[in-house]
Amino acid sequence: MTSGPLLRAHSEPLGDLPVAFDYDHLSMVPRTASSLTHRADADPSVTVGPLVLGVPLVGAPMPDVCGPEMCRALGAAGALGILHRFQPVADQVMECAAAHEGEPAAVAAAIGVTGDHRERFSRLYDAGCRVFCLDTANGAHEQVADAMAWIRNQADDVFIISGNVATAEAFRWLEDRGADAIRVGIAGGSVCETRTETAVYAPTPHAVAEAAQVRRRALIIGDSGVRNPADMCKLLALGADLVMVGSALAGTREAPGRVIVVDGKKVKIMRGAASFSVQQQVGTEDPGYIEGTETLVPYKGGVEDVVRRYLAGLRSSMSYMDARTLEQYRENVSFILLR
């Protein structure tokens, strides 16, 4: 019997392939007594280029998550919002100016790596933006490296977030090419269809752990699949510096879009970046390939309450681990594997 194409392509037998772990496979336990008198003694702040965030939380650059109101609200709460790019350049520039009102340091902007990305960068930079997210599905791509090199030639005072990647090799490749922060996680989001359409997927906790083993300087942004504060805690303890969320914010008052009532319950719409309607929104009249879905998320009220819950959960977790900083948190944490 001849071996199949997968066995021929790999020199190692399938039994030796790494076993990935996901959020629900892990739990954290304290092994030392805590000296923190209150969870408020824990300080999870992190520096992101020119910004200092009190909460290591980032709003995803999705059309139903981050508009100017969301960015202002996240900034006021100590987190960071990234304005999405699925709109005309002029509209994003106006949104950037609006988001800067009152919170001048609390906004980043997403751009692509092809098409109008150079014009979009230049106009956003002139509008005062200094933190840019190269928003692509596959960060390990020569077009991403070319876009980063071009940006570095235009300005030396920008902070570049790149990604997404799911392996140590891809993380190192982007880091070597100048990324300041890298989004780690592919196909784990609630409205992402990449896993079912392409068979490309790695659980975000596993991917973050891989990246942390090779990271030299770039920040790690754990991105996709975060459902609650515990998931954020696990990613940060595994080595992430920041955690990106989408669905957790999409149902809030500050998220773009209207509140609608379905079966007597208040909800909002959340769409993946490669969903049918988002592709139509950016000019593709009849998208031939769909890699994102559209769903409804419960209405949650104000974003401040969401951020407060995530911050409280993180600080409490840090106090269990006798950690006053995120660095101590990673040093003191102990994981157990759940079967």
Label the pairing between strands 46-48 and 51-53: antiparallel
Whether the CA torsion 59, 63, 69, 71 is positive or negative: it is positive
Query: 236: which 2 tokens?
Result: 């940060």
How far is it, in rounded angstroms, from Cα 255 to Cα 81?
11
Q: Which residues are catalytic?
A: 192
How far is it, in rounded angstroms, from Cα 22 to Cα 47?
27
Tell me the domain boundaries of the chain: 38-251+304-330
Contact 56, 327 (CB under 8 A): no
Q: What is the pLDDT of residue 17?
A: 83
Q: What is the pLDDT of residue 2?
A: 37
How far is it, in rounded angstroms, from Cα 125 to Cα 145?
19
pTM of the model: 0.88
Q: What is the pLDDT of residue 268?
A: 84
Q: What is the pLDDT of residue 106?
A: 82
Q: What is the pLDDT along the chain (339 residues), one digit of tens a residue?
A: 333 333 334 345 566 788 899 999 999 999 999 999 999 999 999 999 999 999 999 999 999 999 999 999 999 999 999 999 999 999 999 999 988 775 545 899 999 999 999 999 999 999 999 999 999 989 999 999 999 999 999 999 999 999 899 999 999 999 999 999 999 999 866 667 777 788 888 999 999 999 999 999 999 999 989 999 999 999 999 999 999 999 899 999 999 988 888 889 888 887 655 444 544 455 555 545 444 567 788 898 999 999 999 999 999 999 999 999 999 999 999 999 998
How far is it, in rounded angstroms, from Cα 257 to Cα 3?
52
pLDDT one-digit tens code per residue, 229-270: 999 999 999 999 999 999 899 999 999 988 888 889 888 887
Q: What is the pLDDT of residue 267?
A: 87
Domain 38-251+304-330 has CATH 3.20.20.70: yes
